[in-house]
Amino acid sequence: MPDAAYIIDAVRTAGGRRKGRLADVHPADLGAVPVDALLSRTGIDPAAVDDLIFGCVSQIGEQSNHLARHVVLASALPQTVPAVTIDRQCGSSQQALHFAAQAVMSGTQDMVIAGGVEHMTRVPMGSPFRLAAQAGLGLGPLSQRIRDRYDVAEFSQFTGAQMIADRWGFDRATMDAFALDSHRKAAAAIAAGAFDAEIVPVTVRTPDGETIRHARDEGVRADATIEGIGAVQPIVAGGTITAANASQITDGASAVLVVNEAALRRHGLTPIARIHALAVTAGDPVVMLAEPMPATVRVLERGGLSLDQIDLFEVNEAFASVPLAWLKDIGADPARLNVNGGAIALGHPLGASGTRLMATLVHALRARGLRWGLQTMCEGGGIANATIVEAL
């Protein structure tokens, strides 16, 4: 019988806006911040960590040549801890968490740190294929066979988001209202100290030489208005998807310590959550972003739970159309969704977002005295991960 997988702690950095407070922090150093926080907060022997699994999407430049190993070397972990960098697009660190859970449940490893980092200021989104195209390195990520099969020149998340809005019948006003609500919930969460348990500060130096602690999400706009959001031009002329009703370009990192029962006993650890069920599904790569719906159905089936039993949901706000379609398709209670705001306000540091959502979900459940949480997110290529956790 497989062992259980427990979360001992889950932490994240506060999101940094593009060219904001985190702009001068190297990605490896940024990734080391939540790792070091886990070691400090849990008091574990760093040498007892069996592996570090870290997600990162744009693996080029400062994020190239095995970023996860560089996170180990930049952190308080000894060089004897191995590491692996994975890319499942926006779900990279959620998949890192799944791999970590599977490792400790199998007993092949006992203690694993899963997480991710994405520095979207220093390594802009799409850098790998843009630079490859400039260098004349082939057709890009889609072979001619794939282009012919799907009758497209590329797979575009922006096209997918617009297709979802059109297919599920969401107009600009509805998506803008959802975006405003994300900012309002996030601002209220900050004011109430709801993120205090999950955010670990990053020490940064300002342009004028002052040393400060970055511990507040920079992208949240407490003064956002529907008029201001509505004034932003569509990404594509005639469309309804805009930068204001989509996730923000963000710098950030997050990490989760995952162990099995043997490690709990050996190290005297107290878990804050148990990983109950895991699922990953794949579907249409053109629409791309609708896969959280079947992934949700799959993980509920695997977990033996009904939708009504889930107390809180975290569905990544890559675009407002995605969680809106998820709500409509799944029939979930909107009051249980992204209760502290989502990526439209907090940002979407691609490779870090999976464990960022998990940190927010687990701490929100515990703060409210609730039990079950479900997390899912859309991913490039028409894939989605889904995870159910039980707060302890």
* Enzyme catalytic residues: 90, 348, 378
Rounded Cα gap, residues 9 and 366, in angstroms: 12
91 CB contacts (<8 Å, ≥6 apart)?
55, 280, 353, 354, 377, 378, 379, 383, 384, 385
Per-residue burial over 165-197, b if 16 or more Cβ lie within 10 Å, else e, is beebebebebbbbbbbbbbbbbbebbeeebbeb
**Integer Cα distance of 77 and 349 in angstroms:** 23
Cα 171 to the center of its chain, rounded Å = 26
Biggest alpha carbon–alpha carbon distance for the chain: 60
What does DSSP assign to residue 167? H
Closest CA to 13 of 194, 186, 363, 252: 252
Strand segments, DSSP code E, in 284-371 are: 312-315
* Dihedral over alpha carbons 336, 340, 345, 351 (to 10 degrees): -90
| Amino acid type, 246 | A
Q: Evaluate whether 155 touches 286 at the Cβ level (below 8 Å).
A: yes
Give the N- to C-terminal CA distance of the chain in Å, as an integer: 22
Q: Which residue in 322, 381, 385 sits closest to 152, CA to CA?
A: 381
The two structure tokens encoding residue 203: 């020490």
